Amino acid sequence: MEYVTLGRSGLVVSRLCLGTMTFGREADEAASRAMVDCFVDAGGTFVDTADIYGSGVSEEITGRAIAGRRDEIVLATKVRWAMGPGRNDIGLSRRHIVAACDASLRRLGTDWIDLYQLHMWDGLTPVEETLSALTDLVRAGKVRYIGASNFVGWHLLSAELAAARHGLERLVSLQPQYSLIERRLEYEIGPAAQSLGLGLIPWAPLAQGMLTGKYDRSSGPAAGTRIAEADASAVETWERRDAERNWRIVEAVGAVAEEARRSPSQVAINWLLTRPGVAAPIVGARRVEQLEDNLGAVGWRLSSEQRERLDAVSSPEPVHPYDFIAEGQRSLEAGPS
**In three state form, how does the secondary structure of the chain look?**
CCEEECCCCCCEEECCEEECCCECCCECHHHHHHHHHHHHHCCCCEEECCCCHHHHHHHHHHHHHHCCCHHHCEEEEEECCCCCCCCCCCCCCHHHHHHHHHHHHHHHCCCCEEEEEECCCCCCCCHHHHHHHHHHHHHCCCEEEEEEECCCHHHHHHHHHHHHHHCCCCEEEEECECCCCCCHHHHCHHHHHHHCCCEECCECCCCCCHHHCCCCCCCCCCCCCHHHHCCCCCCCCHHHHCCHHHHHHHHHHHHHHHHHCCCHHHHHHHHHHCCCCECCCEECCCCHHHHHHHHCCCCCCCCHHHHHHHHHHHCCCCCCCHHHHHHHHHHHHHCCC
Active site residues: 53
